[in-house]
Structure 1
C-alpha cells in the first residue's frame, strides 16, 4: 500500500498545509490526514512529493524529519495489523496517527492548547512552586500579546530565527525589558519547547540556537551593620510598620528566603538553631540556621509565630518602613537593555524589597570574611555563582581594600 504527501493550496503565494494521503481499496476511500506542517509552494517538489532537494529555509531539516515520521508511522501501522491479522482500515490508521502524534480533533489543540497541557502536567506533578506557576502564566500572556500585536501566528513551525528576532525586539523594544528579564523569559519559553520536543509535538529544534542576552548583575541596595541597627532601633508609630520592620530584620540576620519564614515555630527551633525542611527542593537535606540574639528577641516578641504577610504586601510596607526610618538618600540604579546602559537616580527606600534582607545577610557575612561554603550552608544555595550574585561591594569596601594593599610609605 502506497502513500503520498501533497499541498492543500499548491498555487498559493503563502505557506500551504502539507497533507498525508493514501487509498484504502476495500473501503473505496481516500484517506487524508493533516500533518500540521506548512511550506511555501515554491519550496515544494511536485514530482518527489516533498521539499525540494536544495531548498534552504528555516526549519527545512525538521520538516523533512517530520514527514519521514509520518511515512514510518504509516508502515509501522500497516505491518502491525498484518502481524495481528486484523483489517487495516482508515479508522485504525487515523487512531494510530492520533496516538503517535498526540493530536486531537482538528482545531481543539493549537500552540497555546499544548502550552496549557504543559503547564497542567507540571502543576499536577507538583514540579512548580506558586511563583513558577505565576511566571509561566505571565509568559503565556506575553506570547499571546506578541502574536496579536505583531501579527505573528505562533505554531511550532513558526518558531524560527524570524520569531527570535521579532520576539526579542518586542520584549526589549515594546515592553522595555532589561537583559535579565528577557533572558529569564526566553529561558522559560525554551523550557516549554524542550518539553514539546520531548513529547513529539514537534521536531522543530530551531529554538536550540536562540541566544539569550547575557545576564548582567544589577547593582542592588544592601545594609551594613550600622544601618541595620538604625532600622532596628527606630520607633514606629504604627504597629503594622513595626511588624514589617521586625520581619525584614529577622530575614536579614538569618539569610532566609521570605517564603521560608512561615515555617518557623517552637517545634523546629532547638536551642538557638532553627531546623528547616525546605519547601523549595524537597530532595535537599534539613537546613540548620543559627539564630543570633536579635533573631531570638524577635521570635520571643511574637511567641515564635512571626506575623508574615503576603510578599507583595510586605514589599509595599517595607518601603514605607525605610522611608519613616530616614533612608531617604539618593542611590543610582544601573540596568542594561541590549548594549544600552541605563542609569536612574532613585530614593534608597524605593529600591528596598523583601529580597534586600537576604542580600544584606550574604553581603555582611562575606565582608566579614566568612567562606562561601559556610554561608551557603545557612542560605541553602547550591550554586556559588548564584550566591555571589547577592554580594554587593560598596565604595568604602573597595577603598579599604586598595588602601590595605597599597599602603606604601613615601
Structure 2
C-alpha cells in the first residue's frame, strides 16, 4: 500500500523483485488499511466469507497483475531480453493502462451503462466475450433474455423520465425497477430475478474494465427475486405408461417419446439428449459418456433396459434433433394419450400477486420434466445424492434438492416404510 498507516483508502502497489532489481507498479486499486490481509496480500479477511465477496473484483484484478508479471518474466527469459523494471512497466502499461498511450490532448469519452450493456451482449453473441469462469460461449437463448432486460431498462428510463448510468445503479434503482417490472410489466418473480441477475453481470464486467467504482450491486439487499414454481416430475409408473404407448401409426410422436424417455432415464438436459451420437455409447454398451454443453463436464451414465431398447430400435443411429418448442407441444399431446391427467397444484407470483391453480400434468409437461424426473426417481429409489449429482452436474446439495419434486404425502409414505417408524412396542415389566 502507498500509505499503510492511513485512516482512509490508499493505492495498492505491486512489488516484484528479480535479479537484485525491484519493480514497483501501481495497480490502480485502492483499499482502506484495515481491510488489507497482510498474509494473503489481498483485500478482505480470509476467514470472513462476506468480506471476501465484497472485495472479489479487486482481488481478481490483483490476481491478473500477478499472473501477468509471471507470464512476462517467462516471455522475457525465453526471448533472452535483459530484464529491467522499465521493460516490465512498458508491457504492463500495454496490458492494463491502454489509455496511457492516448495523446493527452485527446478527449476520452467514458462508455455509459446502456452502451456497455449492448456491447456486452454483442461481444457475447460473437464469441469475443465468454462466460465468466467457464471459458465457454453464451447460449443464444440466454443472450436473448439479456437483450430483453436491456429493452426493459430503456422502457423504464422513458417511463421514469430519468437517465440510468453506472453511478445510479443502486438500491433505489433496484427497488424502483423491481416495482415497475411487477406492477407495470406484470412479470413473474423468477422473470424479474433473471433481469436483476443480468444487471449484476453487466455491472461486474464493467467494474472489471474500470468503467465505474460502484459496489451497490454486490449488496445483500440487491437481491434476485425467485420462487419455486409448480414444476412436475413423472414417476416410474407414469414413465412406463409413456414407454408402453403404441405409436406405430405416428412416427413423429414415437420419436419425441423416445427422445424424452432417454432424458428421463439419463438426467441429460434437452441440449444434450437431442445431440447424442453412437460415439457417446461406451464400448461395452453399458454407459453413455457425454461432455455436457452447458458445463463442459464429462459424465458417465448407466444405460438402463429402457434406454438400451430405444437405442437398439434406432441402431445404428439415435433419434435426431427437434426444436425445444415443437417438442414441448408434442409432449403435451403424448401426455394426453398416456392419460397423465392427475392434477397438481401450481403457483406463481405475477404482478405481485400469488396465483395458485390445479392443472393436469399433461398441460405442464416439458423437456425439462425429463431431468427432474430422473433426479426425483433416483432419489426416491435410495441412490446416493452425491452419485446422482455427478450425473445431473449440480455443485451443491441445496441446488440439487430444488430438483426433487416430491409431495409431503410421498415423503410421509417413504418415511413410514423406514424401520424407525416400524419398531416393535417394548414390553415393560411392572
TM-score (norm 2): 0.66
Write the distance in 2 (CA, Å) between the matches of 1:333 and 1:197. 40
Task: From the CA coordinates, give the structure whose radius of gyration is larger.
Answer: 1
In the TM superposition, 1:293-308 aligns within 5 A as: 293-303=305-315, 304-308=317-321
5+ residue gaps, structure 1, are 1-90
Deviations 1:31-62 (A, max 9, x none): xxxxxxxxxxxxxxxxxxxxxxxxxxxxxxxx
Change (3 A) 1:229 1:181: same
The residue aligned with 1:251 is 263
1:272 to 286, 289, 314: 286
Residue 194 of structure 1 and its aligned partner are, at CA, apart by 1.3
Write the distance in 1 (CA, Å) between the matches of 2:162 and 2:358. 37
- Matched residue of 1:92: which SS? coil
5+ residue gaps, structure 2, are 1-101, 132-137, 426-430
Deviations 1:98-120 (A, max 9, x none): 2xxxx37xxxx543221122223
Q: Is the CA contact 1:261–1:306 (under 8 Å) kept in the aligned structure 2?
A: no
Residue 160 of structure 1 and its aligned partner are, at CA, apart by 2.6
Change (3 A) 1:368 1:338: farther
Q: Is the CA contact 1:247–1:306 (under 8 Å) kept in the aligned structure 2?
A: yes
1:111 aligned to 2:113? yes
Write the distance in 2 (CA, Å) between the matches of 1:300 and 1:145. 54
Bigger mean CA offset, 389-398 vs 332-341: 332-341
Q: Is the CA contact 2:259–2:274 (under 8 Å) kept in the aligned structure 1?
A: no
Change (3 A) 1:152 1:344: farther
The residue aligned with 2:399 is 386
Write the distance in 1 (CA, Å) between the matches of 2:123 and 2:286. 41
- Matched residue of 2:165: which SS? coil
In the TM superposition, 1:311-326 aligns within 5 A as: 311-326=324-339
Change (3 A) 1:111 1:363: same
The residue aligned with 1:76 is none
Change (3 A) 1:137 1:251: same
Residue 213 of structure 1 and its aligned partner are, at CA, apart by 4.9
Runs of 4+ with >6 A deviation: none
In the TM superposition, 1:6-405 aligns within 5 A as: 92-95=103-106, 98=108, 103=109, 110-122=112-124, 123-127=127-131, 128-209=138-219, 210-213=221-224, 215-236=226-247, 237-270=249-282, 271-282=285-296, 284=297, 286-303=298-315, 304-336=317-349, 341-404=354-417, 405=420
Change (3 A) 1:191 1:338: same
The root-mean-square deviation of aligned C-alpha atoms, in Å, is 2.6
Residue 408 of structure 1 and its aligned partner are, at CA, apart by 7.6
Q: Is the CA contact 2:196–2:224 (under 8 Å) kept in the aligned structure 1?
A: no
Q: Is the CA contact 1:329–1:347 (under 8 Å) kept in the aligned structure 2?
A: yes
- Report how many aligned residue pairs link the two structures: 310
Write the distance in 2 (CA, Å) between the matches of 1:117 and 1:163. 22
Write the distance in 2 (CA, Å) between the matches of 1:216 and 1:408. 39
Deviations 1:338-393 (A, max 9, x none): 98543122222111110001000000000011111111122222232222111011
Residue 169 of structure 1 and its aligned partner are, at CA, apart by 0.6
- Matched residue of 2:152: which SS? helix
Q: Is the CA contact 2:269–2:371 (under 8 Å) kept in the aligned structure 1?
A: yes
Write the distance in 1 (CA, Å) between the matches of 2:159 and 2:330. 36
